[in-house]
């Protein structure tokens, strides 16, 4: 294999640049020509592919976002679009791909490999930490620390005014961010898509907390079955129906995706990037390079996409114990 291209797709995550850097420099170290594809699969279709030398990835390891940009491609979902993308790669003689992203990115890579046979290895780039085949995903640790900083500040004002805060964090299908933030931020309760938490349980928890605490924080994953943090707050407020209690809601939103990656994310991204290139060299394909128990593991795209990564129930129990 002489030519490899790297792309980032889907939602951005802190550490993607560190991964790009590792992919490019590992390839160059092994004597390959390295290419960067702008705007993910859309850029592949449009031929926005550029050769990358070592200097192209200088001074990016500490930057959030992705220098290759990212986009979701509707064209790539079609056979016609994928055919054009393949032809663009053929023009440059690109023989392998490294795709940094999540489930959607890997689904596209899997279909593309099955149709055209270009070996592809993924790197788990998503703040949600919901990809099977790796203990942690690139960007998760940074997102947790960003959210925790905000939660700590909200706790200060909650305590100053005896308020009940409902704080919404990202996690449409996964509660990993909410659970980690809830534990680290000392939340009284965490609401996540994986477990059903009734409004009655929330109300009882708040009533119990009021006996020993003057303020409370409840962390809500955006995909919780009861709705958004704002919707849940209104429902709870109507049930409690006490004008002396002050309810507030904060949605942290996309602040969780930005910022300089933590040391942990930089290390993870660098290891996965190197593993992806060396995996392609050793004949691996149609799989993701992840880290499990501090060892590099290759997991098929099929398993990454179809298998669930369950929450640690002990962590949920710990939140309940420590919130009394």
DSSP 180-236: HHHHHTT-SEEE-TTS---HHHHHHHHHHHTTT-S-EEEEEETT-TT--HHHHHHHH
CB 34 within 8 A of CB 23: yes
Predicted local distance difference test score (pLDDT) of residue 147: 97
Predicted local distance difference test score (pLDDT) of residue 227: 95
End-to-end CA distance of the chain: 58
More confident residue, 271 or 319: 271
What integer is the mean pLDDT of 278-282? 98
Predicted local distance difference test score (pLDDT) of residue 243: 73
Predicted local distance difference test score (pLDDT) of residue 213: 83
CB 62 within 8 A of CB 14: no
Residue 296 backbone phi and psi in degrees, to 5:
-70, 130
321 CA to centre of own chain: 28
Residue 311: is its pLDDT beyond 80?
yes
pLDDT in tens, 173-193: 999 999 999 999 999 999 999
Range 48-54 contact pairs with CB under 8 angstroms and sequence separation of 24 or more? 49/5, 49/88, 49/89, 49/92, 49/94, 52/6, 52/24, 53/28, 54/24, 54/25, 54/28
pLDDT in tens, 9-33: 999 999 999 999 999 999 999 999 9
Out of 128, 130, 141, 265, which one is annotated catalytic?
Answer: 128
What integer is the mean pLDDT of 159-170? 96
Mean pLDDT: which of 209-218, 224-233, 314-323 is highest? Answer: 224-233
Q: If pLDDT is split at 50, 70 and 90, which confidence band does 241 have?
A: confident
Binding-site positions read 11, 21-25, 72-73, 102-105, 126-128, 155, 163, 170-172, 186-188, 211, 213-215, 222, 248, 254-257
Predicted local distance difference test score (pLDDT) of residue 38: 98
Predicted local distance difference test score (pLDDT) of residue 33: 98
Closest by Cα among 21, 125, 9, 134 to 76: 9
| The two three-digit tokens of residue 247, written as one number | 């309810």
Q: What percent of the chain has pLDDT over 90?
A: 91
Predicted local distance difference test score (pLDDT) of residue 297: 98
- Total-model pTM: 0.95
Residue 132: is its pLDDT beyond 90?
yes
Closest by Cα among 70, 66, 171, 99 to 128: 171
* Total length of the chain: 324
Predicted local distance difference test score (pLDDT) of residue 257: 95
Told to judge if 303 belongs to the known catalytic residues of this protein, a careful annotator would answer no
Strand pairing report for 49-51 and 96-101: unpaired
pLDDT in tens, 199-213: 999 999 998 877 778
What integer is the mean pLDDT of 218-230? 96
Binding-site positions for Mg(2+) read 103
What integer is the mean pLDDT of 250-255? 96
Q: If pLDDT is split at 50, 70 and 90, which confidence band does 324 have?
A: confident
What is the Cα–Cα distance from 20 to 269, expressed in whole angstroms?
Answer: 8
Binding-site positions for substrate read 126-128, 163, 170-172, 222, 248, 254-257
pLDDT in tens, 75-116: 999 999 999 999 999 999 999 999 999 999 999 999 999 999
Binding-site positions for ATP read 11, 72-73, 102-105
What is the Cα–Cα distance from 301 to 119, expressed in whole angstroms?
Answer: 12
Predicted local distance difference test score (pLDDT) of residue 214: 86
Lowest mean pLDDT among 49-63, 70-84, 306-320: 306-320
Closest by Cα among 193, 171, 66 to 127: 171
Report the greatest alpha carbon distance in the chain. 70
Give 49's contacts (C-beta < 8 A, 6+ positions apart): 5, 35, 36, 37, 38, 43, 88, 89, 92, 94
Binding-site positions for ADP read 21-25, 155, 186-188, 211, 213-215
More confident residue, 313 or 9: 9
């Amino acid at each position: 294999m002489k030519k490899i291209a790297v792309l980032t797709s889907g939602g951005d995550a802190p550490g993607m640049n560190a991964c790009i850097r590792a992919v490019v420099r590992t390839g160059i170290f092994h004597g390959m020509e390295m290419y960067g594809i702008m705007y993910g699969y859309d850029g592949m279709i449009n031929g926005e592919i550029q050769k990358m030398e070592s200097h192209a990835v200088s001074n990016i390891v500490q930057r959030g976002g992705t220098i290759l940009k990212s986009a979701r491609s509707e064209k790539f979902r079609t056979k016609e679009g994928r055919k054009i993308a393949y032809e663009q790669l053929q023009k440059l003689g690109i023989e392998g791909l490294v795709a940094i992203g999540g489930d959607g990115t890997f689904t596209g890579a899997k279909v593309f490999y099955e149709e055209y046979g270009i070996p592809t290895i993924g790197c788990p780039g998503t703040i949600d930490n919901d990809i099977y085949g790796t203990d942690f995903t690139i960007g998760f640790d940074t997102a947790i620390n960003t959210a925790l900083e905000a939660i700590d500040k909200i706790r200060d004002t909650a305590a100053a005014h005896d308020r009940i805060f409902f704080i919404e964090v990202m996690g449409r299908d996964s509660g990993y961010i909410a659970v980690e933030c809830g534990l680290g931020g000392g939340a009284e309760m965490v609401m996540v898509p994986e477990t059903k938490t009734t409004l009655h349980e929330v109300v009882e928890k708040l009533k119990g907390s009021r006996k020993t605490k003057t303020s409370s924080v409840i962390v809500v994953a955006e995909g919780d079955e009861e709705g958004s943090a704002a919707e849940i707050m209104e429902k709870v407020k109507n049930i409690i129906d006490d004008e002396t209690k002050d309810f507030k809601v904060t949605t942290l939103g996309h602040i969780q995706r930005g910022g300089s990656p933590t040391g942990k994310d930089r290390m993870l991204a660098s290891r996965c990037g190197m593993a992806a290139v060396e995996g392609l060299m050793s004949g691996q394909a149609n799989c993701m390079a992840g880290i499990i128990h501090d060892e590099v593991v290759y997991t098929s795209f099929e398993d990454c996409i179809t298998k669930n990564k369950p929450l640690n129930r002990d962590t949920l129990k710990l939140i309940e114990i420590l919130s009394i």
